[in-house]
Amino acid sequence: MNLAIDAMGGDGGSAVVVQAIKNVHSTHPDIRFTVFGNQDELKDLTSFCTIVHTTQVMSMEEGPLAVRRKSDSSMIKAIEAVKQGQCDGIVSCGSTAALLAASLLILRTFENLERPALTITFPTLKHTLCDMLDVGCNAENSSEQLMQFALMGHAYAKAVHNLEHPKIALLNIGSEAKKGDSVHKDAYEKIKALEHINFVGNIEGRDLLNGDVDVIITDGFSGNIALKTIEGTISAYSSLIKGVFKSSFIANLCALILKTKLVEMKRYFDYRKYGGAILAGINRPVVKAHGSSDVEAFTNAILLLSRLVEIDVVDRMKELL
């Protein structure tokens, strides 16, 4: 297995990526790496990685048009290496919009697939993992596309989480079949009609974290809003809790006493544990690490990519479409 690593473009710079690659190398010496970026910053990796020097960086702010303009960026060169079969998949923490555009242009989607879907995995209150797609590839989706997401989500949860019959739900504004706009009403019927898919119906925003389902299907607009609303609410709630623990000397003492448990709780919803998001529907595994990834997050993103390559997730998703 040879993984293409885009070393540039994240908030933490290449230093984070270099350390993450070292971490993975120490526990998985069998994995080979081709690392794309400024060679001066990647010297520490020369002993065990193939380094490809690139002169441009696809920064977080870049849109899809940068794909042409920044053809010598680490991101584009890494994707091209995957296209040419030198590497088996790519991880990048650069701009999502550029990564999506370049993946579409260079690697392309599955033959019968209309649109790819950004897929994230998050922990639930039942200590299970839940996949949600799409959370950001698309500004709008048709019911046909939502049906295709259900097929991809099913295959993904089966392959990655070893679930035989993953429970699939559709994010909607009510639990009844007739709820939602025409796209979601249609999608409900189309997903329901799929054979071998364990469709459990609609799920509402308030139940996303409950762990009642394994895969949540959503259009990119609602999915993006739901995901960011979860993030924002956790952040708001955390800051209120912090306020409570800072409210007096004795409250501070309580914080110290509870520290281990509080850190454990904070870790529970910590995206860094889960590595990154997948561009599902692209012909090769593409992992989008968080722009603000630290070493732990990027390490997990690489491990996620290695697992996706290992279990051949792309072919397993393709089979269903």
Residues near a copy of itself (CB under 8 A) are 125, 136, 139-140, 171, 173, 179-182, 184, 204-210, 220-222, 224-241, 243-245, 247, 250-251, 254, 257-258, 261-262, 265, 268-269
CB of 224 to a copy of itself, least distance (A): 4
CB of 186 to a copy of itself, least distance (A): 12
CB of 191 to a copy of itself, least distance (A): 18
CB of 116 to a copy of itself, least distance (A): 16
Of 166 and 220, nearer to a copy of itself (C-beta) is 220
Residue 62, classified by CB atoms within 10 Å of its CB into exposed (0-12), middle (13-18) or buried (19+), is buried
Interacting residues of 189 by C-beta distance below 8 A, sequence separation 6+ = 177
* 3 state DSSP class of 17: helix
Of 31 and 118, nearer to a copy of itself (C-beta) is 118
Helix 249-268 to helix 220-245 angle (10° resolution) is 150
CB of 189 to a copy of itself, least distance (A): 16
Of 14 and 202, nearer to a copy of itself (C-beta) is 202
CB of 202 to a copy of itself, least distance (A): 11
163 neighbors 151 (Cβ within 8 angstroms): no
Of 41 and 207, nearer to a copy of itself (C-beta) is 207
Of 48 and 237, nearer to a copy of itself (C-beta) is 237
Nearest to 190 by CA among 140, 141, 154, 144: 144
Place of tokens 């998001």: 277
Cα(159)–Cα(313) distance, rounded to whole angstroms?
Answer: 6
- Cα dihedral across residues 180, 184, 185, 188: positive or negative: negative
Of 218 and 300, nearer to a copy of itself (C-beta) is 218
Could you write out the DSSP letters of every residue in 258-271? HHHHHHHHHHHT-G
